[in-house]
Amino acid sequence: MEKAGKLNKYIFTVVVLYVSWILLTATTRADELIVGLIVSLLVAIGSFDYLSEHGLSHLTPKRVLYLIIYAPYYLWQVILANFDVAYRVLAPSMPIKPGIVKVKTNLKTDSGKLALANSITMTPGTLTMDVKDDTLLVHWIYVKDETVEGATKEIGTPFEKYLKEIFG
Amino acid sequence: MRLILGYFLLYFGAIFLFLGAFGLIRLPDLYTRMQASTKSTTLGAFASVLGVGVIHPDWFVKCLVVALFILLTAPVGSSALMRAAYKTGVPMTDSTTIDEGKEFFGEEQEGEAK
């Protein structure tokens, strides 16, 4: 995907900042809203180049829809991961078999890889250590498959089909 | 009803925070401990903050935003810590089966030299 123009990125950053402001202040008072808008506009001048990669093209309906589907799935994985940890910590035999494996990804954008790395960290038993090009280094608390292909299938694939739609 | 849900979330969070701390004692090495602490503190803090939001509806939106930021940023921090620990050579437990990290970071150093 091509890089977005400067104005495009700027507007996207302002929108994100302003929405965060409104949610954090949780008010509809006019003075708060005006100050928030001014601050968003000012902060975005200095930060739009770092905060946004593709500008407004992130806000297509399809992406937003997939994000809405993905959010509960992610939350569910977080809860599953916690019960998994609880089981491993409390079981007297402590069923752990830790190891560090490599996982390949098809995602191309940096934001996509970040989202994948975050998701992997919150999945049951896995924690991303580093990302380089298309390889993720993952610490796995119970190694089921030592090969790159096997680990990829086990760890990365369930998330990729959503993240591919969101981040491309 | 609202209060019941709120307190349920608070205690739910507290239980997982406790389990995370318990994991720190029981698990054998830094890497597995990080696994336990990352996951349980994220959900623990998430549920606790959300519980406070449910008990005090005025704060709900704020709490929701705070909870979302915790959910988004905690994994990044733990990844950075884990990577730093590995690079400085913190030993892994004896039951470790496979370690592809040497190869992975070895490539990186060669790449930097070129």
Size of interface A-B (CB pairs under 8 A): 127
| Residue ranges covered by each domain of chain A | 6-58, 68-167
| CA A86 vs CA A77, A83, A142, B89: distances in Å | 14, 5, 14, 28
**Residue A3 — very low, low, confident or very high, per pLDDT cuts 50/70/90?**
low
Residues of A with CB under 8 A from a CB of B: 20, 23-24, 26, 74-75, 78-79, 81-82, 84-86, 88-90, 94, 96-102, 114, 117-118, 121-122, 125, 127-130, 132, 135, 137, 139, 141, 143, 146
The pLDDT tens digits of the residues spanning A87-117 come to 888 888 777 778 888 888 888 777 788 888 8
**Residue B114 — very low, low, confident or very high, per pLDDT cuts 50/70/90?**
very low
Is the minimum CB–CB distance between B5 and chain A shorter than 8 Å?
no
pLDDT of amino acid A26: 73
Q: Do B23 and A85 touch (CB under 8 A)?
A: yes
Q: Do A146 and B82 touch (CB under 8 A)?
A: no
Which residues of chain A have a CB within 8 Å of the CB of B107? Answer: 132
Residue of A nearest to B63 (CA): A24
Average pLDDT value over all residues in chain B: 81
The pLDDT tens digits of the residues spanning B7-57 come to 999 999 999 899 888 888 888 888 888 888 888 888 888 899 999 989 988
pLDDT of amino acid A118: 83
The pLDDT tens digits of the residues spanning A9-65 come to 788 888 888 888 888 887 778 888 888 889 888 888 888 777 766 666 666 777 778
Which residues of chain A have a CB within 8 Å of the CB of B20? Answer: 85
| CA A10 vs CA A45, A63, A150, B15: distances in Å | 7, 20, 42, 43
Residue of A nearest to B29 (CA): A98
Average pLDDT value over all residues in chain A: 79
Q: Are the C-beta atoms of residues A73 and A162 closer than 8 Å to each other? A: yes
The pTM of this model reads: 0.76
Of A74, A78, A98, the CB nearest to B92: A98
| Residue ranges covered by each domain of chain B | 2-91
pLDDT of amino acid B14: 92
More confident residue, A133 or B38: B38
pLDDT of amino acid A155: 74
Q: Which residues are CB-neighbours of B58 under 8 A, at least 6 positions away?
A: A26
pLDDT reading at B108 higher than 60:
no
Q: Are the C-beta atoms of residues A56 and A3 closer than 8 Å to each other? A: no
pLDDT reading at A144 higher than 60:
yes
pLDDT of amino acid B112: 43
Residues 40-69 of B with CB under 8 A from A: 40, 42-43, 46, 58-59, 61-62, 64-65
Task: Please give the angle made by the CA atoms of B79, A85 and A135, to the nearest 5 degrees.
Answer: 35
